[in-house]
Structure 1
Amino acid sequence: MTEQNAFARRHNGPDASETAAMLKVVGAPSLDALMAETVPASIRVKTPLNLPAALTEHEALDEIRALAARNKPMISLIGQGYHGTLTPPVLLRNVFENPAWYTSYTPYQPEISQGRLEALLNFQTMIGELTGLEIANASLLDEATAAAEAMALAKRGAKSKANAFFVDSDVHPQTLAVIRTRAEPLGWEVLVGDPLKDLDAAKVFGALIQYPGSSGALRDPRPAVEALHKAGAFAIFAADPLALVLLTSPGDLGADAAVGSTQRFGVPMGWGGPHAAYMATRDAHKRIIPGRIVGLSVDSRGAPALRLALQTREQHIRREKATSNVCTAQALLAIMAGLYAAWHGPEGLTAIARRTHALTLRLAEGLKALGFAPEADAFFDTLTVQAGDQAAQILAAARAEGINLRDSGGGRIGINLDETTTPAVVEAVWRAFGGSEAFGAAPKASAIPEALRRQDAPLKHPVFSRYRSETEMMRYLRKLADRDLALDRTMIPLGSCTMKLNAAAEMTPVSWPAFANMHPYAPADQAEGYRALVDQLSAALCEITGYDAVSMQPNSGAQGEYAGLLAIRGYHASRGDAHRKICLIPASAHGTNPASAQMVGYEVVVVSSTPEGEVDMADLAAKAEKHAAALAAIMITYPSTHGVFEENIRQICDIVHQHGGQVYLDGANMNAQVGLSRPGDYGSDVSHLNLHKTFCIPHGGGGPGMGPIGVKAHLTPFLPGDPATGQGGAVSAAACGSPSILPISWMYCRMMGPDGLTEATKLAILNANYIAARLAPHFPVLYSGAKGRVAHECILDPRGLKETAGVTVDDIAKRLMDFGFHAPTMSFPVAGALMVEPTESEAKSELDRFCAAMIAIREEIRAVEDGRLPKGDNPLSHAPHSAADLQEGWNRAYSIAQGFFPAGVSPQDKYWPPVNRVDNAHGDRNLICSCPPLEDYAQAAE
């Protein structure tokens, strides 16, 4: 590559000599020849990507710094669920900017995820204690989508058979917008009003109450809760976690569930995200709460071990019967919020809450003296005043002071204070209202009514009081990180999840204040840099995919699926075809596909696969013909989830179009297409794009992610609406979803350039074919394309080994941990198989190390088959091996050396799994999903 492509040489693993050596193994004379055998000629692009030439790291940083300079982050007192916050430097450096935390994967393999699982359990415990509810999940995407999920929870769990949901008129506007989007396709009516005046509980299956209200008003909700319960309906609170430090908890007020955002617990606003939302509920509803739950189980020695609990609730199992398509969380941000609470502790959080409230009291007294009495006498940190025809002048005067206030409409102005607010800021607000009063002590102790003051001390668990010095916190964070296996240690060869390099230069701008400290509803002229960045990245994604427009609003892949199907649904309705509700989905599809289809009111019809793993064209044609009058869409993943480029993709699109349907192409496997083929050119109408896969946003232990959708021109009018204005079709709380992580993908595209992006795709395909060629003699490769090639991933089939050696895919996955590897994707899309995706970032040496480990494992299996090792007492059946295995006399049929230091594992660099194999069934039978006191751990292990 040229000097201008210096970054691509760092991002792509194989150099020229390694590429040549791998091509020899796979039997291809060149990369281009391999591409010709892999990607169907009918969909190959004829011209190179029309993108700006690559920049070096420093050039790209200079360019994005200029974009950042166009943002004007001011002191934001807008509120509306977003607050100024101070990220503790110990967390910024040791977690947020630490690849040991941000490059880890979702903890589906618990033995090598004990650190991040503990950090997420801290989060769940924090939420449970603050809300007074027994069960909390490990986070959701944002407060608005969490509220929509809670509405669905109420529909599932309430005794009421009503078909309407009540929403507090004092809810955040973006929350109402997303709830309306979610309810409409399912035929649920949304009623809006004052829950203490307008609620007819007999007519609803649940109600959402904002606590405190979006305007700041603090009301006693007990009468509404009582009425809801008498009618068999759910009471759901949207509650601010900092307010809950001082307020009576939702649980004590009778709530069935609570949702909210933990953004103000140390996570910058970032123009809207990412932030960790929460959901908590009663123990009775633990089997129907959406999202992930971290629970306590035991390992094979009976020692306590953490794991993701109740995983059978995930939509990969329930498919079209799922009531939610949630497949992710905001793990990294939930970890940050939980650690923020551990850093400050109950005393620190109480001090922050009291100081914020005291400042608000003083602000209220000053405004009252100026003739602007707050609307509510009871409040926590937010005031709303009626300024009449002076409102515009006051808002402008505040901006001249460097402060954004909330324009609540009708002459009303909202003012929200937070932990960053100073007395000088309060004085500046007074000046904006025409005053000159100097700051002084508030004459009133509290504006929280006695009946709503918290009586119990929250955060009683020792974890929230143990780490007070930075030395202790730093070591705690290092201890947790050392228990995990992330991309900073080893290749993570997960099929369909694309764990590639998250380069330091890409990550650098995310922490810059100009990106981090921007309120999502700040005036547009203050966010010109963000808008330019979004426009430039959108243009690049359009060029890469062949689509005409992009919406950045979906903040996960599943949200992208949902938004894409909503666009299709809106398109059909605009043409008088609202009756089109049949969605064809191949049997091999991602589990989120049928769940998303169900959520937009579609009926799923499954299309069969051929023995070769491709879509059965005869079955597709027959079902498209049968349902032609009602056909809405097909959802298809390309390359397929079986890891091959199907030759018939154009024909598939044509058949669906001929029968009036639209083509939704799942973009999870876009890493095999960039620069080689474009979905918008070969027949797709809409795709979501996993920026946390193909475009380098890191997985963060299970989130954040971004799933923007690209659409052809005819679907552009049906892209998600603006949640800030309550516009129809909003799917997330912020217009651009989680924009503070978009600089990562922008940097990736700018530094790779058109040639580097295309080269990355070719090398991803080469690496997968190299692994397939190396391992095929040992583990059959289940599927390949017409010319014997796989795409960017391949499926290895060890299923026959269960009969010959008693070895399962789980045994192989756990044994890989002893070699220092994360397992490939297990049992998806084929039960009992392994799907391997190496990505372009892995050099030949790491691929060889993985192949050597897999071959060594196969030899261990052969020793069982030959009788040299017994079934049930071999390195695979006991894997992974922890240090605890050395504490007793060794009486196994194999040596200590083989168990702990298999071929290629250096004692000097050994990764030690912190626990032995975790008992999943025990954890589900004995669900514990908040931190038990230390003295209870022994009991949990019995």
Structure 2
Amino acid sequence: MSQTAASPFPGLAELEDAEAFRRRHIGPDAHEQAHMLRVLGQRDLDSLMRSVIPESIRRDAPMQLPAAVGEQQALRELRDVARENRVLRSFIGQGYANAHMPGVIRRNVLENPAWYTAYTPYQPEISQGRLEALLNFQTMVADLTGLDVANASMLDEATAAAEAVTLARRVSDHASNSVFVADDVLPQTLEVLRTRAEPIGLQLQVGPAAQAGQGEHFAVLLQYPGVDGGVHDLRELIGGLRARGTLVIVAADILALTLLAPPGELGADIAVGNTQRFGLPLGCGGPHAAYLAVRDALKRQLPGRLVGASVDAQGNSGLRLALQTREQHIRREKATSNICTAQVLPAVLAAMYAVYHGPEGLLRIAQRVHAYTALLADGLLAQGWELRHASYFDTLTVLTGTHTEAVHAASVAAGINLRRAGEDRVGIALDETVEREDLLALLGVFAAVRGAAAPRPGLFEAAAAGIEPRWPRSLARRGAYLTHPVFHAHRSETEMLRYLRQLADKDIALDRAMIPLGSCTMKLNATSEMEPIGWPEFAAVHPFAPAEQRRGYQRLAEELQAWLAQATGYDAVSLQPNAGSQGEYAGLLAIRAWHHSRGDAARDVCLIPSSAHGTNPASAHMVGMRVVVVACDSQGSVDLDDLRGKAREHAARLAACMITYPSTHGVFEPRVREICDIVHEHGGQVYVDGANMNAMVGLVSPPEFGADVSHLNLHKTFCIPHGGGGPGVGPVAVREHLRPFLPGHVAAGEGAGAVGAVSAAPLGNASVLPIAWMYMRMMGAQGLREASAVAILGANYLARRLAPHYPVLYSGQGGFVAHECIIDLRALKDSCGITNEDVAKRLMDYGFHAPTMSFPVPGTLMIEPTESESLAELDRFVGALVAIRAEIARVERGEWPRQDNPLKAAPITAAVALADSWEHAYTREQAAFPVPELRRHKYWVPVGRVDNVWGDRNLQCACLPVAEPAAQQPEAQAA
């Protein structure tokens, strides 16, 4: 019935429509949900939830959250929060610098959902764009550090240094468990090292770098340049250390390496650092891509991800993740690292910064930064100040004596932050954003304190003829770097724009299609959630600026922590962990510290079900716990008899039990309370992995059924984008008795916390926290609960639709699953030779990202639809899998040979489909357009099936060589 002028308008509350965002976030509308419920034989969502979730664990009390508001209201409120930050010009340094992100990169990568909604590139054929961008990153890092192999990014410099130390311990034959750390390393790095070392029995010795050769150490960590700015020739020191069998790690400034001799040339075994100053905002500490590079002999010990080259089925080059792609799932408690997410999107941004500027552009930026630093040094010396070092790159330490507080007060009054380097000294770090006016302002601050004459613009005339570098000539970088054509071919914005588009077009991200990955929760990342991360009030804040300047972030954190506590039922939350793996680690550290506080230091056994995520045993190993595996029953649930027996056996030493809920098999285990009771009865604590929290928010509260601690994945449940595999945020949530053992951060002027710092910045990946804040503010309690319910609805709808075609492996009470389902393809291998990998690759030809393969059960596919997918997209996915089952049937009937069918050939490139010769049992039409809609909208994979084994046997982890010679590059010179 049409609305007429005479008809009454709806009520004002309806017109204001505070629930509009919820309806846009949740894919199926009311009519579509009703259809899906009818398929399941359910009256409404509440009745479905009663059928799916065991009565004993249902959450009845609603979450106490602010009522939902619309997008514009939420943005206004968050803008008020942001304004509580005070944005000064920060020259604090300490591993963080202001930077300019080129607009073409900001618009076409950072703000482009083709990049930020993509998943980790575990399926290489549909990830070639991201993989090439990461290969550029690896090449950039390896070139600049002068080492052989770099990985595809780390979480931050501090954790990269910790990973380097544990890498050194693994490969070293040295009897000592001591690592020497130079006293001029970044303070936050030392904090994280202390946290990481103690549980695994490593001893840290801190002192001047010159003393590194005294005593027995398996590794030494040096900073280059030091946090106080000093640049020293480390060759002799490193040579002596290596002669004694000590491994040397150098934490190096990535921009300084365009001018200074690289760590590899100095003799280092390992280099670490971060790439934040390659175009990324400060963001109160993250996300920024750290790096780790090694000499060739150590490459197979690299933690994290490594992009390598291989060949596809047609013999063409193709990229993939190499070696320890998901090491923690393969090696579990023997894993060398628990890293699961990296910082992919920031790594892509940093790599593209190098692609855009090229070696000559980076050189010019570094020369400009150093020239300004030299001018500042000359001006300070002329005023009578003394500098700690005569050799420096971009950082000066001024000996201020009794004038220290006066200098800080004058600088803040002038709108400038300087580093608090000590009671009698002040640090100043310059960067690419510095202009002449900044130099005059800085000199003006010091002049005012000294009562000297104000600086004049004429001081710049001294630099007209060039600046003599302020470091030993022996340290000048020699030879070319970034010689590959990719760093020379995209100078104009037009070419850069097209290159970025070309890479994005190779991939499948959420902007193209549903990504049905079980356990990975690929849901909508709304534009209104993303918008605030670019606001200068969030982006331009230094993580170690004075606390009074970070009040907006503090308020944001307090509100988000309170909301997350309500969403989970826990009492306290820390936002510091900058990935799910780090949240896991922090949670286990809290359990360990609690036991120690009670005199139970002997408790070191961690019970973990055989079905658990591989990060669980890896994290337990990292906190010094001994993993004891608990069996699962035929339904994938924890075997309670085995749990009870092992809890009893290890009662005197039981520290924790780690479980995932709903289970890794996608089921609400009805006896989860009993699991928790058994663990508590024998003195342990219960850790619930938060990977599947999207099935619980508003419906189930882990503490109510007995959990003590969980980590969350804001990049899963709370809408921070995956970004191709990172950034992530992994808050740790605890019950009240564990609150005192949450991470702290001394470098930010906070208490140390019982377990120390677990990331370089006090709020971890702080600048993406507004995304989760926006999501929760716009959804409200009702919206968050509905999101969980619709995610469960979608998974059960898919399971019911697919069951006639594929066995659904596990289900809970009433035959229902939780938020994901597992389809069993194992029998197909015997019936016709088709594997789950064949089905996964064939789905790409239908325009879909593959589901999770072979986890937790080999030979299966685990599917999670999320609440964000519409009924039309769910049905399109079902249609694809049904069509693929029909293709499999043709192989089973012998119509297509076992080795010559579209599934074995998948994914099928345009080049293959258009080949002059076609000698297959199936037609080109069946290969390329198996369903009619693909004629209207077809994604063509850029490569055929990539050969993983060939890639590992022929490891190549830098940009592929080309026939044309690299463009000529000027050698690095100073000015």
Taking structure 1 as the reference length, the TM-score comes to: 0.98
Aligned pair count reads 936
Question: SS in structure 2 opposite 1:669?
Answer: helix
1:742 aligns with 2:755: no
Q: Does the 8 Å contact 2:308/2:321 carry over to 1?
A: yes
In the TM superposition, what are the counterparts of 1:169-184 in structure 2 within 5 Å? Answer: 169-184=183-198
Q: Does the 8 Å contact 1:178/1:723 carry over to 2?
A: no
Q: Deviations over 1:119-139 (max 9, x none)?
A: 000000000100011100000
Which of 181, 185, 188 is residue 199 of structure 2 equivalent to?
Answer: 185
Compute the displacement of 1:313 (Å): 6.1
* Counterpart residue type for residue 787 of structure 1: G
Which of 574, 592, 597 is residue 551 of structure 1 equivalent to?
Answer: 574
Query: Which runs of 5 or more residues in structure 2 are unaligned?
Result: 1-12, 966-975
For residues 769 and 707 of structure 1, the distance between their equivalents in structure 2, rounded to whole angstroms, comes to 28
Q: In the alignment, which residue of structure 1 is the partner of 2:414?
A: 401
Which of 514, 522, 532 is residue 509 of structure 1 equivalent to?
Answer: 532
Which of 692, 702, 708 is residue 731 of structure 2 equivalent to?
Answer: 708
1:778 aligns with 2:791: no
Q: Deviations over 1:746-772 (max 9, x none)?
A: 000000111111111110000000000
For residues 339 and 395 of structure 2, the distance between their equivalents in structure 1, rounded to whole angstroms, comes to 32
Q: Deviations over 1:311-345 (max 9, x none)?
A: 36611000000121111210000000000001111
* Counterpart residue type for residue 365 of structure 1: D
* Counterpart residue type for residue 473 of structure 2: E
In the TM superposition, what are the counterparts of 1:389-788 in structure 2 within 5 Å? Answer: 389-434=402-447, 435=452, 436-439=454-457, 440-441=459-460, 442=462, 444-724=467-747, 727=752, 729-788=756-815
1:97 aligns with 2:115: no
For residues 904 and 83 of structure 1, the distance between their equivalents in structure 2, rounded to whole angstroms, comes to 53
Question: SS in structure 2 opposite 1:876?
Answer: helix
Q: Does the 8 Å contact 1:154/1:233 carry over to 2?
A: no
* Counterpart residue type for residue 302 of structure 2: I
* Counterpart residue type for residue 707 of structure 2: S
In the TM superposition, what are the counterparts of 1:25-104 in structure 2 within 5 Å? Answer: 25-104=39-118
Which of 828, 834, 852 is residue 807 of structure 1 equivalent to?
Answer: 834
Q: Deviations over 1:175-206 (max 9, x none)?
A: 00101111100101001111223532x51111
Question: SS in structure 2 opposite 1:766?
Answer: helix
Q: Deviations over 1:834-869 (max 9, x none)?
A: 000000000111000000100110110011001111
Question: SS in structure 1 opposite 2:510?
Answer: coil
For residues 487 and 901 of structure 2, the distance between their equivalents in structure 1, rounded to whole angstroms, comes to 42
Compute the displacement of 1:158 (Å): 2.1
Q: Please, what is the CA RMSD of the aligned residues?
A: 1.2
Q: In the alignment, which residue of structure 2 is the partner of 1:841?
A: 868
Which of 322, 326, 330 is residue 317 of structure 1 equivalent to?
Answer: 330
* Counterpart residue type for residue 653 of structure 1: C
Question: SS in structure 1 opposite 2:318?
Answer: strand
Question: SS in structure 1 opposite 2:636?
Answer: coil
Compute the displacement of 1:906 (Å): 2.4
Which of 132, 140, 165 is residue 179 of structure 2 equivalent to?
Answer: 165
Q: Deviations over 1:504-524 (max 9, x none)?
A: 000000111111111000011
For residues 769 and 956 of structure 2, the distance between their equivalents in structure 1, rounded to whole angstroms, comes to 36
Q: In the alignment, which residue of structure 2 is the partner of 1:915?
A: 943
1:383 aligns with 2:396: yes
For residues 77 and 195 of structure 1, the distance between their equivalents in structure 2, rounded to whole angstroms, comes to 25
Compute the displacement of 1:549 (Å): 0.8
For residues 847 and 682 of structure 1, the distance between their equivalents in structure 2, rounded to whole angstroms, comes to 33
* Worse-matched range after superposition: 152-161 or 630-639: 152-161
Q: Does the 8 Å contact 1:246/1:353 carry over to 2?
A: yes
* Counterpart residue type for residue 663 of structure 1: V
Question: SS in structure 2 opposite 1:71?
Answer: coil
Q: Does the 8 Å contact 1:624/1:631 carry over to 2?
A: yes
Q: In the alignment, which residue of structure 2 is the partner of 1:931?
A: 959
Question: SS in structure 2 opposite 1:377?
Answer: coil
For residues 472 and 257 of structure 2, the distance between their equivalents in structure 1, rounded to whole angstroms, comes to 14
* Worse-matched range after superposition: 233-242 or 431-440: 431-440
Q: In the alignment, which residue of structure 2 is the partner of 1:4?
A: 18
Which of 347, 353, 364 is residue 377 of structure 2 equivalent to?
Answer: 364
Over 3 Å counting, the alpha-carbon distance change for 1:914 and 1:514 in structure 2 is: same
Q: In the alignment, which residue of structure 1 is the partner of 2:892?
A: 865
Q: Does the 8 Å contact 1:178/1:733 carry over to 2?
A: yes
For residues 79 and 596 of structure 1, the distance between their equivalents in structure 2, rounded to whole angstroms, comes to 32
Q: Does the 8 Å contact 2:212/2:220 carry over to 1?
A: no
Over 3 Å counting, the alpha-carbon distance change for 1:225 and 1:793 in structure 2 is: same
Question: SS in structure 2 opposite 1:384?
Answer: strand
Q: Does the 8 Å contact 1:853/1:904 carry over to 2?
A: no
For residues 372 and 658 of structure 1, the distance between their equivalents in structure 2, rounded to whole angstroms, comes to 65
For residues 746 and 130 of structure 1, the distance between their equivalents in structure 2, rounded to whole angstroms, comes to 38
Q: Deviations over 1:509-557 (max 9, x none)?
A: 0111111111000011111111111111100000111111110010000
* Worse-matched range after superposition: 820-829 or 454-463: 454-463
Q: Does the 8 Å contact 2:182/2:212 carry over to 1?
A: no
Question: SS in structure 2 opposite 1:681?
Answer: helix
Q: Does the 8 Å contact 2:54/2:813 carry over to 1?
A: no
Q: In the alignment, which residue of structure 2 is the partner of 1:940?
A: none
Query: Which runs of 5 or more residues in structure 1 are unaligned?
Result: 938-942
Q: In the alignment, which residue of structure 1 is the partner of 2:853?
A: 826
Q: In the alignment, which residue of structure 2 is the partner of 1:879?
A: 906
Compute the displacement of 1:223 (Å): 2.1
Compute the displacement of 1:386 (Å): 1.3
For residues 455 and 213 of structure 2, the distance between their equivalents in structure 1, rounded to whole angstroms, comes to 42
For residues 680 and 506 of structure 1, the distance between their equivalents in structure 2, rounded to whole angstroms, comes to 29
* Counterpart residue type for residue 307 of structure 1: R
1:237 aligns with 2:253: no
* Worse-matched range after superposition: 259-268 or 720-729: 720-729
Q: Deviations over 1:280-320 (max 9, x none)?
A: 00111111010100011010000010110113661100000
Compute the displacement of 1:932 (Å): 2.5
For residues 853 and 650 of structure 1, the distance between their equivalents in structure 2, rounded to whole angstroms, comes to 39
For residues 483 and 46 of structure 1, the distance between their equivalents in structure 2, rounded to whole angstroms, comes to 46
* Worse-matched range after superposition: 211-220 or 64-73: 64-73
Question: SS in structure 2 opposite 1:544?
Answer: helix
For residues 121 and 291 of structure 1, the distance between their equivalents in structure 2, rounded to whole angstroms, comes to 14
Compute the displacement of 1:369 (Å): 1.4
For residues 693 and 536 of structure 1, the distance between their equivalents in structure 2, rounded to whole angstroms, comes to 19
In the TM superposition, what are the counterparts of 1:203-214 in structure 2 within 5 Å? Answer: 203-214=216-227
For residues 683 and 827 of structure 2, the distance between their equivalents in structure 1, rounded to whole angstroms, comes to 43
Question: SS in structure 2 opposite 1:252?
Answer: helix
Compute the displacement of 1:936 (Å): 9.1
1:223 aligns with 2:236: yes
Q: Deviations over 1:350-394 (max 9, x none)?
A: 010000000000111111112212110100000001111111111
1:332 aligns with 2:345: yes
Compute the displacement of 1:807 (Å): 0.3
For residues 68 and 458 of structure 1, the distance between their equivalents in structure 2, rounded to whole angstroms, comes to 41
For residues 325 and 645 of structure 2, the distance between their equivalents in structure 1, rounded to whole angstroms, comes to 33
* Counterpart residue type for residue 141 of structure 1: L
For residues 180 and 145 of structure 1, the distance between their equivalents in structure 2, rounded to whole angstroms, comes to 11
Taking structure 2 as the reference length, the TM-score comes to: 0.95
1:197 aligns with 2:217: no
For residues 146 and 915 of structure 2, the distance between their equivalents in structure 1, rounded to whole angstroms, comes to 41
For residues 131 and 625 of structure 1, the distance between their equivalents in structure 2, rounded to whole angstroms, comes to 52
1:889 aligns with 2:917: yes
For residues 125 and 849 of structure 2, the distance between their equivalents in structure 1, rounded to whole angstroms, comes to 10
Q: Does the 8 Å contact 2:326/2:340 carry over to 1?
A: no
* Counterpart residue type for residue 435 of structure 2: T
For residues 396 and 47 of structure 2, the distance between their equivalents in structure 1, rounded to whole angstroms, comes to 67
For residues 864 and 313 of structure 1, the distance between their equivalents in structure 2, rounded to whole angstroms, comes to 32
Structure 1 stretches of 4+ with a deviation exceeding 6 A read none
Compute the displacement of 1:888 (Å): 3.2
